Amino acid sequence: MAGAHRHLLLHTDSPLHRIAPEAKIVGTFLFAVGVALTPRRAVWAFAIDAVVVLSLLAIAGYRPRQALTRFAAVLPFVAFAVFIPFIAGGDKTDLFGLSLSTEGLWASWNVIAKSVLGTGASLILAGTTPISEVVRGLGRLRMPPIVVSIVAFMFRYLDLIVEEMGRMRVAMTARGHDPRWLWQAKPIASAAGAMFVRSYERGERVHSAMLARGFSGTMPQMEHEPASPTDWARSLTPPVVSISLALVALIIL
């Protein structure tokens, strides 16, 4: 899993990069909800959703290869879905000489289609929105200010902690640490404990520094331009598509 959490931002410019973050967050979220509500047998609805996701990925500036490697990161979560047809009950269908559960195949398709489309939506948001913007967007969406400040702090210190962890690992490796089995994990666990103490103490130092600068428990609110109606209109188009497709499919099927 290491390295899987590198931020996915695309350092380019696109119309999507310029949309206000709060509008993009709401749009991404509702699009995923719309996809999740779509009945599994409405294959055409998923196809249209996929066209939406693919064109937005292209507008965002993803190169096909780049997008594929990022999709690959979710493969393990989809792997489970592949097993469903083999273990599920119900009617059987013959496919490639195997007797598979019909309902299981649909269930498998359901999970794969929805998770791929949902991942695509997250990739578009993550690829076009810097972390600081996401934090600002969460604030503008009236998330409790404390939560927004905690998220901001987390990102401010995440790289620092990860790098410190990397240095500890290099130090351990330099001393011949190369564990193969679970019972050799003690140095890693102790390092995690030491990491916690260091992080906590850093938190206390940061807190003192903040107090010295007049911190009173909440972070000062920054003024920003609110999202324009155009931003909202653009960000809400994909969810309008996915939700109406879901509704149409629910009525027809």
- Work out how close the CB of 206 gets to other proteins at its nearest, in angstroms, rounded to a whole number: 5
CA distance linking residue 191 with residue 188, whole number of Å = 5
Helix/strand/coil percentages in the chain, nearest 5: 70, 5, 25
Nearer to other proteins (CB atom), residue 194 or residue 230: 194
- Work out how close the CB of 68 gets to other proteins at its nearest, in angstroms, rounded to a whole number: 13
- Work out how close the CB of 119 gets to other proteins at its nearest, in angstroms, rounded to a whole number: 5
Nearer to other proteins (CB atom), residue 63 or residue 207: 207
Distance of CA 32 to the CA centre of its chain: 11
CA distance linking residue 69 with residue 67, whole number of Å = 6
Nearer to other proteins (CB atom), residue 89 or residue 229: 89
- Work out how close the CB of 248 gets to other proteins at its nearest, in angstroms, rounded to a whole number: 16
Nearer to other proteins (CB atom), residue 4 or residue 229: 4
- Work out how close the CB of 61 gets to other proteins at its nearest, in angstroms, rounded to a whole number: 17
CA distance linking residue 72 with residue 60, whole number of Å = 19
- Work out how close the CB of 228 gets to other proteins at its nearest, in angstroms, rounded to a whole number: 22
Question: 112-144 burial, b for 16+ CB within 10 Å, e for fewer?
Answer: bbbbbbbbbbbbbbbbbbebebbbbbbbbeeee
Nearer to other proteins (CB atom), residue 82 or residue 230: 82
At 198, the amino acid letter reads: R
Q: How many CA atoms lie within 13 A of 154 on its CB side?
A: 9
Q: Phi/psi class of residue 8: alpha, beta or left (left: φ > 0; alpha: ψ in -120 to 50)?
A: alpha
Q: Phi/psi class of residue 97: alpha, beta or left (left: φ > 0; alpha: ψ in -120 to 50)?
A: left
Nearer to other proteins (CB atom), residue 24 or residue 234: 24
